[in-house]
């Protein structure tokens, strides 16, 4: 076996991703709004092909390739950390939409001029805490489900998240739904409320109910998926070169 070498770099980016070819994103996370562009800078420093994708796609690709490699049908991953997105794998193929950033559920409108990302994501919990004079770190907030401030946030966030999941299920009609992110950090009671609410709403509208479960990937899941997608982007070229040199 020869010495491994790096042939491409994959970037998993927070959404919304406005241009995957340049890795352009607009963020509104822990440190305020920012417009960033990653691909040209990384490519200039490493001299290798660089691919970019939204973190939800990278996480989904990593999960599907590593934990469900033989899964078929339509698998949907709902990733709710500081943003909120749904990504699909259909018979092993990742679907990203015509512009390669479909599925950003956080951008959907949610009453009174708000979006779902303003109500039921990690960034919304931080915004809520800061607006109420609470400067505790994010992990401390997640670890305090019975804190009055956190409970008040949950009272609005849980129904909004249930509605978001139902919107995605009705739109995509997947066979399975995997929920990852902020709500995984809360006790089982919160997750049961979410699952029960989704079952009730989907049953009410008469849609097929997919298999729904919570899953918490490690911090490197998105990075693994980004690496796999980068490998996909150069696989044909590398294989052709290997064959021609044989």
pLDDT in tens, 107-134: 899 988 899 999 999 999 999 999 999 9
Q: What's residue 70's pLDDT?
A: 61
CATH code of 153's domain: 3.30.420.40
Q: What is the DSSP letter of 44?
A: H
Residue 2 in any domain: the answer is: no
- pTM to 2 decimals? 0.85
Q: Enter the tokens of residue 80.
A: 């709710």
Residue 189 in any domain: the answer is: yes
Residue 4 in any domain: the answer is: no
Residue 170 in any domain: the answer is: yes
Whether the CB-CB separation of 102 and 95 falls below 8 Å is answered with yes
Tell me what the mean pLDDT of segment 43-56 comes to. 89
Residue 213 in any domain: the answer is: yes
Domain count of the fold of the chain: 1
User: How many Cβ atoms are within 10 Å of 214's Cβ, its own excluded?
Assistant: 16
Residue 3 in any domain: the answer is: no
Lowest mean pLDDT among 173-177, 178-182, 194-198, 235-239: 235-239
Residue 164 in any domain: the answer is: yes
Q: Enter the tokens of residue 189.
A: 């009671």
- Length of the chain as a residue count: 246
> Which of 102, 100, 59, 52 minimizes the C-alpha distance to 79?
59
Q: What's residue 31's pLDDT?
A: 56
Residue 1 in any domain: the answer is: no
Q: What's residue 93's pLDDT?
A: 86
pLDDT band for position 215 (50/70/90)?
confident
Q: What angle do CA 206, 105, 124 make, to 5 degrees?
A: 120
Structural domain containing residue 29 = 9-245
Decide if pLDDT at 1 tops 60: no
Provide the mean pLDDT of the chain.
87
Whether the CB-CB separation of 69 and 90 falls below 8 Å is answered with no
Q: pLDDT above 70 covers what percent of the chain?
A: 92
Chain-centroid distance, C-alpha 128? 21
User: How many Cβ atoms are within 10 Å of 91's Cβ, its own excluded?
Assistant: 9
């Amino acid at each position: 076996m020869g010495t491994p070498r790096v042939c491409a770099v994959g970037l998993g980016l927070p959404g919304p991703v406005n241009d995957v070819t340049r890795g352009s994103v607009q963020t509104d996370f822990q440190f305020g709004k920012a417009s960033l562009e990653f691909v040209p800078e990384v490519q200039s420093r490493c001299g290798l092909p660089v691919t970019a994708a939204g973190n939800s796609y990278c996480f989904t690709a990593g999960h599907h390739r590593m934990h469900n490699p033989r899964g078929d049908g339509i698998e949907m991953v709902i990733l709710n950390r500081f943003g909120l997105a749904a990504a699909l794998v259909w018979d092993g193929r990742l679907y990203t939409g015509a512009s390669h950033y479909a599925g950003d559920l956080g951008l959907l409108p949610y009453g009174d001029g708000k979006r779902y990302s303003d109500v039921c994501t990690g960034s919304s919990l931080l915004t809520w805490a800061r607006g109420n004079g609470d400067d505790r770190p994010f992990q401390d907030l997640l670890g305090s489900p019975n804190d009055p401030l956190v409970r008040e946030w949950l009272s609005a966030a849980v129904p909004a998240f249930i509605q978001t999941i139902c919107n995605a299920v009705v739109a995509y009609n997947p066979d399975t739904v995997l929920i990852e992110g902020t709500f995984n950090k809360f006790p089982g009671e919160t997750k049961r409320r979410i699952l029960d609410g989704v079952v009730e709403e989907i049953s009410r509208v008469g849609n097929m109910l997919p298999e729904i479960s919570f899953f918490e990937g490690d911090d490197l899941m998105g990075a693994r998926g980004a690496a796999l997608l980068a490998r996909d982007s150069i696989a044909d070229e590398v294989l052709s070169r290997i064959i021609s040199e044989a």
